[in-house]
Structure 1
């Protein structure tokens, strides 16, 4: 037992039956060569339009505070577990706390001038199962809807899949957070379902939408990111010629 059986479908194609154990029960794909993956440890991940650096308040706090201060109100923090902050000092204090954390592991996003204009993090590290989540995405007005906002996400995905060898990359958000739901789909994540009443934050209940990209999907996702990020995809004003499309 334990083999994969092939059978011919009604249309003449071949379908693959699940593996079975000695009791005839279906079991998952064998991972004979699997071993736990490394924890994320990169301090710098360079791209064309942006660079990710391990969050360091001494180097990044001043520019992050200034970049976020350009927002007209606090709506960018509504669906995050922290913020908006009452003062620049409060924001810096939180950055100090975030920088000291290993999980989540926070990264500042630097634009082409070297200024920190946003941040994101790798969190819920699960090296034994090869799963990890991107979260704490806080892009300032300077970064929102720019090529760098997409490339920052791509750089972190590429690091997780190609360098660390993880099997699963997750995105989770409040189901009421329409921009985050839309961003997950645009970036190639697959919606997996909703965990009802999963979280209590800021004195309210959250239903959490789960999304993921798996290692089997990554090669196609990576190719599409690389196509979209190619400078040839943008005109002289920096406007995209074609949209990012993952065939979903």
Structure 2
């Protein structure tokens, strides 16, 4: 059976709701991340100084043909606190990448990322029929690498001199993946972690 290509969908958990990203999320996203260099340190953009900068970032997600972007909505406030995406899906080969993720610092070390990834992984493996989910991150971004490992993903290797960072230096890209047969154990661990608070 061939997997399905991701389409706009809303995924709801206890702590977060993932809904299709739209221009109406710009004000919330600016409020949680403006002028915070650490949030954008390893991304392709500089920290937004003005709401129009966030609007340009959102427009970039929305016009990327290989991207299915989600606004991450905190259940307690109903406001967008970040963005995460499916990228570069290949339904025939049954793989998809999760990436383009960032959150306002106020939700770091909270249940937000764990539940967002649980929702995305559940949808990818159980509803879209994917056999493999991938992540890529900057080799210097240890926080991201550790978060990916905590999901249960396996390190696959490093693609050297993969792309230029905004500051002109060259990024090596670290690759991780999770396979469908690894998903049940990973799902149990993630569910238990969320239940434990």
TM-score (norm 1): 0.75
Within 5 Å, give how 1:90-239 maps onto structure 2: 90-112=53-75, 113-202=77-166, 203-230=168-195, 233-234=196-197
Matched, 1:45 2:8: no
Instruction: Give, in angstroms, the shift of residue 36 of structure 1.
Output: 2.7
Please list every run of at least 4 consecutive aligned residues from structure 1 whose deviation after the TM superposition is greater than 6 angstroms.
none
**In terms of Rg, which structure is larger?**
1
Q: After superposing the two structures, state which structure 1 stretch, 99-108 or 37-46, moved more.
A: 99-108
Higher relative contact order (CA 8 A, sep 6+): 2
Within 5 Å, give how 1:1-12 maps onto structure 2: none
**What RMSD, in angstroms, separates the aligned Cα atoms of the two structures?**
1.5
SS in 2 for 1:216: helix
SS in 2 for 1:85: coil
Could you say which structure has the higher helix fraction?
Answer: 2
Residue equivalent to 1:68: 33
Provide the rounded CA distance (Å) in 2 between the counterparts of 1:222 and 1:102.
29
Instruction: Give, in angstroms, the shift of residue 63 of structure 1.
Output: 0.8
Q: How many residues align?
A: 195
Gaps of 5+ in 1: 1-34, 235-248
Provide the rounded CA distance (Å) in 2 between the counterparts of 1:215 and 1:184.
16
TM-score (norm 2): 0.93
Of residues 22, 34, 37 in structure 2, which corresponds to 1:56?
22
SS in 1 for 2:148: helix
Q: After superposing the two structures, state which structure 1 stretch, 87-96 or 213-222, moved more.
A: 87-96
Instruction: Give, in angstroms, the shift of residue 47 of structure 1.
Output: 0.5
Contact map agreement 2:3 2:128 (CA 8 A) in 1: yes
Contact map agreement 1:118 1:143 (CA 8 A) in 2: no
Residues 106-133 of structure 1: CA deviation (Å, up to 9, x unaligned)? 1000011211011111101111111111
Residues 122-164 of structure 1: CA deviation (Å, up to 9, x unaligned)? 1011111111111111110222111122101111111100100
Structure 1's 93 and 198: CA in aligned 2 closer, same or farther, altered over 3 A? closer
